[in-house]
Amino acid sequence: MRIAMPIDNQNVNQHFGTSSEFAVIEIEGDQIKDNKTVSAASLAHNHGGLAGLLKNENVEVVIVGGIGPPAQQALEETGMKVITGAQGVIKDIAIMFAKGQLRSKPVSCNHGHGHSCGQH
């Protein structure tokens, strides 16, 4: 299974739409089999473009911190599952997911200047 997470200095970026890079991780069993970084530098806040980029990487699950409804809808419309509210080091989060220990947490993102994404 392939999962993706927005990157912010090896941590999950708390705002999906501003991410310039994504970790695309292949999970086998409860281990990381492969890990690569994919650039999304030209796609900031291009929800359909980000969804297409990850779909082209054969991603099945996207794990995010905060994400707005339009971006989440774009991902789900391409058949990807979205897990929200993740915080921490990407590799640690990937292992938690692989072991079945990661669950979505409610988040809110208000778009416009001065973005605010956070957990409830």
Torsion of CA 78, 27, 68, 111, to 10 degrees: -120
Residue 61 lies in a domain: no
**What pairing do the DSSP bridges indicate for beta strands 61-63 and 81-83?**
parallel
Average pLDDT of 92-120? 72
At residue 70, what is the residue type?
Answer: P
At residue 78, what is the residue type?
Answer: T
Residue 29 lies in a domain: yes
The predicted-structure confidence for 41-63, as pLDDT tens digits, reads as follows 888 777 788 999 999 999 999 99
Average pLDDT of 98-108? 87
* pTM for the full predicted model: 0.87
Torsion of CA 47, 51, 52, 53, to 10 degrees: 100
* 69-77 vs 47-56: helix crossing angle, rounded to 10: 40
Residue 62 lies in a domain: no
* Dihedrals phi, psi of 21, to nearest 5 degrees: -145, 150
Residue 7 lies in a domain: yes
Residue 22 lies in a domain: yes
Name the pLDDT band for 110 (thresholds 50, 70, 90): low
Average pLDDT of 76-96? 96
Count of structural domains within the chain: 1
Residue 63 lies in a domain: no
**Can you give the pLDDT at residue 115?**
43
* CATH number reported for the structural domain that contains residue 104 in this entry: 3.30.420.130
| Structural domain span for residue 27 | 2-52+69-119
Over 70: is that where the pLDDT of 79 sits? yes
